[in-house]
Chain A
Amino acid sequence: MTDLLRILVSPVAWLAAFSAVYGLHGVLCSMMLDATVFGMSRSRLVLALAFVVAVLLQAGLLAMLYSTRYGAAPGFARVVSRASGWTGLVATIWTLFPTLAVSTCP
């Protein structure tokens, strides 16, 4: 089962982060936070922080999948788990990038 978990962990972590950020976005919009911090609206700042945390989490998971301690033994599971790790990282950057680039609530 450990090999299966290695294969699934990064994409599942993406799904959790993606859902969480979408939910956070809904909550922030319902709270209508207008104040600005460092020239950014408070909502965008929170969402941008969530984006950074999600990317760091994925990077950490990928590093673990490449480590000898937590990574899979050479062979099938190692290749597939690392490919899934990259999937999680790329998916996080691509799908949560709008937190930095798109208008928040309108």
Chain B
Amino acid sequence: MKALTRHRRLAAIWSSRPGWRGWLSTVNHNDVGLMFLVTAFFYFLVGGILAMLIRAQLATPHSAFAGPEVYSQFFTMHGTIMMFLFAIPAIEGLAIYLLPKMLGTRDLAYPRLTAYGFWCYFFGGAMLLVALLFGIAPDGGWFMYPPLTGKIHSPGINTDFWLIGITFVEISAISAAVELTVSILKYRAPGMSLGRMPIFAWYILVTALMILTGFPPLILGSILLELERAFGLPFFQLELGGDSLLWQHLFWLFGHPEVYIIFLPAAGVISTILPVMASTTLLGYRWVVAAAVALAILSFGLWVHHMFTTGIPHMGLAFFSAASTLVAIPTAVQVFAWIGTMWKGTPRLHLPMLHILGFFATFVIGGLTGVMVAVVPFDWQVHDTAFVTAHLHYVLFGGFVFPILAAVYYWLPLVSGRKRYFRLGEVAFALIFTGFHATFLAMHWVGLMGQRRRISTYAPEDGWTAINLISSVGGFVLAFGLAMVLVEVVLHAVVRHHSARNPWRAGTLEWATTMPAPAYNFASLPHVDSREPLWDDPGLPVRLARGEGYLGDPASGRRETLMVDVATGVPEQHVVYPTNTHLPIVLAAVTGLFFLSILIKVFWLTPVAVAGVVALGWLWVWRLGSRNDLGEQPIGRDLRVPNIAESDRPPGWWGSAFLLVADGTLFGSLLFGYAFLWTVAPGWPPPAFANPSPFALVAASAGAALGIAGGVFSIRNNRDGKGPVPGLLMALGGMLGLGVALMVFLAGAPSPSSHAYGATLWVLGSYGLLHAVLAGLMLAFLLSRHRAGYISSRRRAELAIAPVWIGYACVTTALILLAAYLPGLAT
């Protein structure tokens, strides 16, 4: 088959529908990645405009530009948009677009989930944008501290928009994190062992794992605060056994790792682009991977350094101060690796390199002021001043915006197939760099002089006027620079100026595709023997286009790729992807209906939306699989591997495992909150404990035993040709037992609105019940699938997934009953 014929056939199989309607049904990572990026940069624009409004207000003393109510919405939405609607989605978009190409595969693990995540982000972001346009945007600051954000002090709907909108958007982040983790571990080119992975993939893997463990505390905190606001469950009300410090713990358990979730992918961009700009390889690849892992995990031990002024005992402060200084070491390992890479290579001052140099200057200053605020006495002096605002902008703008602009200029030819014609970027860089430093260097200064952050105005006698004016002028220079970048990207899209393939002479696989990259990425999948395959084998792109790699025959008409062994990259399974569908956008819309019903307090709509989500979720999974045994599939190069339907570890198993990491973190955070209130909050122990119910304990024990045994029997019996039905029914009975036990537990728990103890038990019980119902639904689904002929002794993959959820439901139910009943039994 000629390369052109192969291209046409593959394009017909993989492309989205033509025109704008195609955006609504596409599940291809090329489309969805770009949709993420375009939307994220739109929000960057909105957040930037808000920043200009803030600087306009602060440019002069006693400014009448905006009143304090509107100004509070400006700074809250600026922070919220930049953190949640720009930075994280931009990372997701970049990773979604690039990773399959870098990993030498055709798409991510769950294409429909990619699209679902995008639409959740789109609708959730739109919710916040609508609030901004109607003047009812959140106004409690981007970290939403209660009691300010409690019902008493913020009675309007503004805070609810934040809590519900952000939780909705976080579904997108968790979806992307599961997607990226499984894709990096299991969807790589054959031969690409862990040690041969592109460094960007390592950074994204680490970041995705951080999202799975960093975001759940925030999701939990948002749920608890919304429950308090909507139904009066007093988690943060001191007089009813709550504590507003619980919110600070939950928020910063997310908030500090969040800084590294933003920085690490940017560091991945630097580690990818810098060696190419220096025409060499990255110095100390293995040490950089170790440093990224260390930084990621150490960052989870820093959260209390945002709370140094809350009256925590000295030893607690010392723990977090020590941990905060320690992160400088893995950061420095990376910085020295980058400097060493430049030293051993021959750096070329192309535009991406300018932004990397901008990153170095800015981020290192941000890092040094970070070490300053890690020292407790200094932090006490500058806490909540403009110094901290300046520090965080040096870290986030330096550590994220400069690298992302480097990424834009570096990968733009890959997206468009064109090169720059107008040379606006160099001028734009100069404006951005000088404008940024004028704005925020001045802000350090005014912060040290005592200017509080978030103040809407100040008096001339404060002595801050000239510095604020310099800062505002710098802000507008920065805005002009960023506007020039936007103009250049638009011109790039308009002016046809073709680029040669691999214009930077890079070694990674994304440049082995044609430019712009086709929907299927590679006509056949490469076999990888090194970290820079294109440097070692310049003829690889041509051979792949000729179909000389894996899966080069498009005759089946299916979207195919391979799953590999995690460590070695040996091909293990043959994958057939689902095709274009409107299911993701419809499911996201119905999910949005659920959140909207809570926001506008139309509670009759909530169960309708939940039923819709369940029905669509059922349909989502039903469309997968086959009614026939497929046997081993030929994948090219004389190899055959089983299809995923005929394996013990299908993609759904991997996805479930990592989703449960996030779920378990949420549950762990809930238990942490319970323990925190018990030990720290005034008003504990509660007036009355929950009465231990022997019936609930017996029902839960019997349910757990039945559930686990049923799951095991269903797999074993099916493998032996006896069918899974008895085991599935047994497991279903087990989940029923768990459900009954938890309902009895909830019925016997104290009132949820009278004390934080009852509120916590209510949330714990509901959490357990939700998981028992979820596992029950999965078992009912499997019974239907077996009846419809989708499960056989060979096609056993689906049976492997439910036991993971059954086990989780059993363990969490046991912990819930233990946590709830133990204090009562002990007294």
Residues of A within 8 A of B (CB): 1-4, 7-8, 11-12, 14-15, 18-19, 21-23, 25-27, 29-30, 47, 75-77, 79-80, 83-84, 87, 90-91, 94-99, 101-106
Contacts and interface: CB of A to CB of B under 8 A. Distances in A.
A80 B314 contact: no
A20 B679 CA distance: 14
B286 A83 contact: yes
10 contacts: A1-B185, A3-B194, A11-B294, A18-B323, A19-B301, A26-B316, A79-B287, A91-B294, A91-B326, A103-B314
B470 interface: no
Given A4-B566, A15-B300, A84 B290 contact: yes
B742 to A, nearest CB: 26
Which of B286, B304, B313, B319 has the most A CB atoms < 10 Å from its CB?
B319
A15 B300 CA distance: 7
Contacts, number: 109
B318 A98 contact: yes
Nearest to B684: A30
A96 B326 contact: no
B315 A105 contact: yes
Given A15-B300, A15-B301, A76-B194, A83 B290 contact: yes
A10 B315 CA distance: 24
Contacts of B330: 87
A105 B287 CA distance: 39
Q: Which 7 pairs show the lowest CB-CB distances between chains A and B?
A: A76-B195, A98-B318, A83-B290, A11-B297, A87-B294, A30-B679, A102-B318
Interface residues of B, number: 31
Contacts of A27: 679
B513 interface: no
B193 interface: yes
Contacts of B298: 11, 14, 87, 91
Contact of B567 (A77, A91, A99): A77
Interface in B176-196: 185, 193-195
A51 B297 CA distance: 19
Given A25-B316, A76-B193, A83-B286, A98 B322 contact: yes
Contacts of B680: 26, 30
B747 interface: no
B286 A95 contact: no
Contacts of B293: 7-8, 11, 80, 84, 87
B274 to A, nearest CB: 20
A104 B634 CA distance: 66
B349 interface: no
Interface of B: 185, 193-195, 286-287, 289-290, 293-294, 297-298, 300-301, 304, 313-316, 318-319, 322-323, 326, 330, 566-567, 675-676, 679-680
Contacts of A11: 293-294, 297-298
A18 B313 contact: no
Contacts of A91: 294, 298, 301, 323, 326
A80 B322 contact: no
Nearest to A96: B319
Interface of B is mostly: helix
Nearest to A76: B195
B567 A83 contact: no
Contacts of A22: 304, 316, 319
Contacts of B297: 8, 11-12, 14-15
Contacts of B301: 14-15, 18-19, 91, 95
Contact of A95 (B185, B290, B314, B319): B319
A103 B567 contact: no
Given A30-B679, A77-B194, A94 B314 contact: no
Contacts of A83: 286-287, 290, 294
B194 A4 contact: yes
Contacts of B315: 25, 47, 98-99, 102-105
B313 A105 contact: yes
B294 A95 contact: no
A22 B298 CA distance: 15
B805 to A, nearest CB: 20
B326 A2 contact: no
A105 B185 CA distance: 45
Contacts of A105: 313, 315
A98 B319 contact: yes
A98 B301 CA distance: 15
A77 B195 contact: yes
A91 B193 CA distance: 29
Nearest to A104: B315
A87 B331 CA distance: 13
Contacts of A21: 319
A21 B492 CA distance: 55
Contacts of A79: 286-287, 290
A68 B326 CA distance: 30
Contacts of B287: 79, 83
Nearest to A3: B567
Nearest to A2: B567
A1 to B, nearest CB: 5
Given A1-B567, A4-B194, A27-B679, A80 B289 contact: yes
A79 to B, nearest CB: 5
A29 to B, nearest CB: 6
A84 B294 contact: yes
Contacts of A14: 297-298, 301
A105 to B, nearest CB: 5
Given A15-B297, A30-B679, A83-B294, 20 more contacts: A1-B566, A4-B567, A14-B297, A14-B298, A15-B300, A18-B319, A25-B316, A26-B316, A26-B680, A47-B315, A79-B286, A80-B286, A80-B293, A90-B326, A91-B294, A91-B298, A95-B323, A95-B326, A98-B315, A105-B313
A91 B300 CA distance: 12
Nearest to A11: B297
A2 B287 CA distance: 19
